[in-house]
Structure 1
Amino acid sequence: MTTNIKNLFKLKSIPIETPKEEFPKPEIDPNAESPEESRKRTYHEAGYRDSSRNNGNHTTLFICLDAVYSKFQNEEKEMVEKQQKLKESYVNEQKNRETEIKALTVSLETKEEQLTHKNTEIEDHQNKIESLKAEINDLPRNPEKYNVKATKGASTKFWIGAILLIPISLYLLTFYISTSYSAFFKSFDAKSTVIQSVLDAQAFSKAWNEGVIEGAFVTLIPSVFLGLGFLIHMFGENKTRLNYIKLGLLFIVTFIFDAILAYEIESKLYELNKTFDSPPFDLTIAFTKNQFWGIIFAGFIVYIIWGLVFDFVMKEHREKDKIKNEQEIRQKNVLFLMEKINVLKKEIEEILVSIGTTKELIIKTRGRIEELQNIIDGVIIPTKDYKLYASEYVQGWITYIGERIAVSKTEKQIMIDSCIDIYSTNLEDVGANSDSQNLVYLSAL
């Protein structure tokens, strides 16, 4: 770098006339040289003159270069058109930044509106959740209030019917196990009473002791009657003519089956007690026996009662299910709304982060606008130009040393090298070094 600077300051012989002013303004011949060349010549002459006054002293050069920089600043300040041209990029950037501020402000307002809207949505969802929870609790008591076609108190009726259904079912199991065993497998003796013949406490164990078929028969036969009772309920749900016919046939079949059981038991009792004069046992005789009808109705009537209770329980269960289904629907809505609230909260967090980022960007942009305004209000010093004119000044200074100072060649070179070092230091001080010579520096005057 030092070599380049030394090459920059080659001695130039320029005729010098001693001016009356410190910084003379030479007469410019427009046809001979441009204003730029005239300005360079002025700085060169000033350097030559100042060097002559100070015998080329490098220490004085340091002070003189400060004065040259101040003079350069004042000249640049007076060049209004040049300043406007230099500031044009800053003015354009300031306009762009102001446009950016407007866009950021609109974006910020939009985000704040979104934030308000989403907070309102969360509040509405929370109110709906509270309302749904209140409906879930109130539905069993007032289903009609929520347009649910269900009987109030269905849950209570259901449990009462279910409790009654248990002992009736146990009765039917006991009755049909005993009667089926007595009718088809039991052997009667003269000591057996009617009750003992129909209801045998050990019918279940005796049937299994006699064989697997006997045990399975008496064990499974009650399920036939319970299944018939279930069918009564199913046919009764859809009130059609065909279902009524089916229902009637079920009652007839059940009655006939009970009649067969009663006939078999009564036949065995009749055979046990008949005499030589007794006629053969038939339906005519069976119809005259109270025990025959007692066995039929002890099973058939209870079976009808079981079917009606079962039908009632199922209907109440359906009513209970209506309420339960409505509660489940509302509970699902509660969960759905809670999920929406969680999603909205995440979106709100993202919006808050975005708002914070936007505000920071607005603050940073406004700061940049203020910086640009300071540049526009101040004076821009093109340091690359200053380096050009300062080099002309130092060239004039060194020219005088080379032409007029009578010292040895070695001492003269030392003086020139010292001046070049002072020049380099000055460029560093004003920010016009070679690494940043294309940058623009501001001097607030």
Structure 2
Amino acid sequence: MDTTSIKNLFKLKSIPVETPKEEESSKAETNSNVESSEESRKRTYHESGYRDSSRTSGNHSTLSICLDAVYSKFQNEEKEMVEKQQKLKESYVTEQKNKETEIKALTVALETKEDQLKNKNKEIENYQNQIQVFKAEINDLPRNPEKYNVKATKGASTKFWIGTILLVPITLYLLTFYISTSYSAFFKSFDAKVTVIQSVLDARAWERAWSEGSIEGAFVTFIPFVFLGLGFLIHMFNETKTWANYVKLGLLFIVTFIFDAILAYQIESKLYELNKTFDSPPFDIKIAFTTIQFWGIIFAGFIVYIIWGLVFDFVMKEHRDKDKIKNEQEIRQKNVLFLLEKINVLKKEIEEILANIGNTKEIVIKTRGRIEELQNIIDGVIIPTKDYKLYASEYVQGWITFISEKIAVSRTEKQTMIDDCISSYTTNLETVGANSDNQNLVYLSSL
């Protein structure tokens, strides 16, 4: 509020100073005129200002002290106005009830969140227990597959590797034997100077076959795989136990035996021609059946071939059992990873819930603090500063009226005194929170 507006506020009222006799007549007039309580109260403050100013010769320093007393008086008067106080406090009472309702809702929300937190922690604990069970089963499956309804033999992995180790040298033996015997039977020219073993098993058979031609080389190279294929068929027919498969298996052994017999017959025929005399009869099957080399060649290939087929069948069976166990282990491992993902999701949800709980608790604390503030307001006295400003201005007007009418000084000095009084009044309004910018606020005082 600028100086001009303040001065306009204090345009002097012409209130006559009453002598004792005049006061008696004034009382009579007052009794005859009905005034509102507010007008009466304003008049009282005006007259008090006039009277106090007369006692202090309008001193502005004293005015500051007097205004403090006026504020205390106004405060006590407001305290006694019960109905007015109740009306002023209605909004605070309503707000307090709303805050209390909010506290109840927040408390219910907190309990719900805490229950959710408890349930999610319990879920994590259950998942962790399941993970431990799955890990224990993964370790125990190779030892006790039947315990988990897995149709596999114990130690399948160990048996598989033992069979594989045995299968490698047997396979190399068959490759070496059939390359050498097939070359000796079909392409090699025997020399009387070399031994029988050297004639049958030629260390350079593969190299010599390729040197004689690509067809010879390809023949001796791939013929061992025919026998290996026949051995694989032994495994395939043996997988399903049916009479048809048993018949096929028997025919397979017969065919293999005949093939070995042909190789042995060819080699034995060449050896016989190399060593025969004029008296020797022509070589035939009957003669072949009576020679040790013939049967040695057959059994050196056929028996080993059967052994290879049986070992291969055993290895494949153990590999299948091993795969069953491995598959069951993989299933449990996937379950472990799935549960770990669920645990991670739950942990993130728990973090969100904890943050929510923390925020809610913070809101509860602030709301309770506000409820306490409202209770202090309700228990205290509400001072309407806008009303105080009205009555304080009446008091100061009375004070300035005395200066204007009764102080015998120059006009300049009188104006200075009035300005000082207005300044003291403005300072007082600022002190009690009744300045012009916040005149609609209330000043609260707990008594």
TM-score normalised over the length of structure 2 = 0.90
Question: Which aligned pairs between 1:33-432 and structure 2 lie closer than 5 A?
Answer: 33-240=35-242, 243-275=245-277, 280-283=282-285, 285-432=287-434
Number of matched pairs: 443
**Map of 1:14 onto structure 2:** 15
Within 1, Cα distance between the matches of 2:57 and 2:333? 102
When structure 1 is superposed on structure 2, of 35-44 and 225-234 the one drifting more is 35-44
Q: Distance in 2 between matches of 1:25 and 1:264?
A: 161
Alpha-carbon shift at residue 269 of structure 1 (Å): 2.5
Deviation at 1:240, TM superposition (A): 4.6
Deviation at 1:241, TM superposition (A): 5.3
Separation in 1, partners of 2:267, 2:241 = 37
Moved more, 278-287 or 423-432: 278-287
**Secondary structure at the counterpart of residue 442 of structure 1:** strand
SS of the aligned residue for 1:381 comes to strand
Given the superposition, is the C-alpha separation of residues 94 and 27 from structure 1 closer, same or farther in structure 2, using an over 3 Å criterion?
farther
What's the CA shift for 1:349? Answer: 2.9
Task: Report the residue type matching 1:186 in the other structure.
Answer: K
More displaced, 152-161 or 410-419? 152-161
Deviation at 1:110, TM superposition (A): 1.9
In structure 2, relative to structure 1, the CA distance for the partners of 1:29 and 1:87 (3 Å cut) is farther
Runs (5+) with no aligned partner, structure 2: none
SS in 1 for 2:434: coil
8 Å contact 1:28–1:38 — kept in the other structure? Answer: no
Alpha-carbon displacement from aligned partner over 1:388-430 (angstroms, at most 9, x marks no partner): 1111111122122222333221121111111101101111111
For 1:56-80, what per-residue CA distance to the aligned partner results, in whole angstroms no more than 9, with x for missing partners? 2222222221121111111211221
**Structure 2 match to 1:4:** 5
Aligned-partner SS, 2:409? coil
Moved more, 238-247 or 35-44: 238-247
Q: Which runs of 5+ in 1 are unaligned?
A: none
1:12 offset after TM fit, Å? 1.1
Residue identity over aligned pairs, in percent, reads 84
Distance 1:413 1:294, change over 3 A: same
How many Å apart are 1:172 and its aligned residue?
0.9
Q: Which stretch of structure 1 is more off in the superposition, 413-422 or 126-135?
A: 126-135
**Among 427, 433, 444, the residue aligned to 1:442:** 444
1:121, 1:261 → 2: CA distance? 72
Distance 1:172 1:235, change over 3 A: same
Code of the residue aligned with 1:396 in structure 2: it is: G
C-alpha contact (below 8 Å) 1:143/1:151 kept by paired residues: yes
RMSD: 2.8
Aligned to 2:178, the other structure's residue is in SS state helix
1:32 to 1:203, Cα distance in 2 relative to 1, 3 A: same
Q: Distance in 2 between matches of 1:333 and 1:255?
A: 52
CA distance in 2: counterparts of 1:126 and 1:172, whole angstroms: 54
Cα deviation for residue 6 of structure 1 reads: 0.9
TM-aligned CA deviation for residue 378 of structure 1 = 0.3
Q: Normalising by structure 1, report the TM-score.
A: 0.90
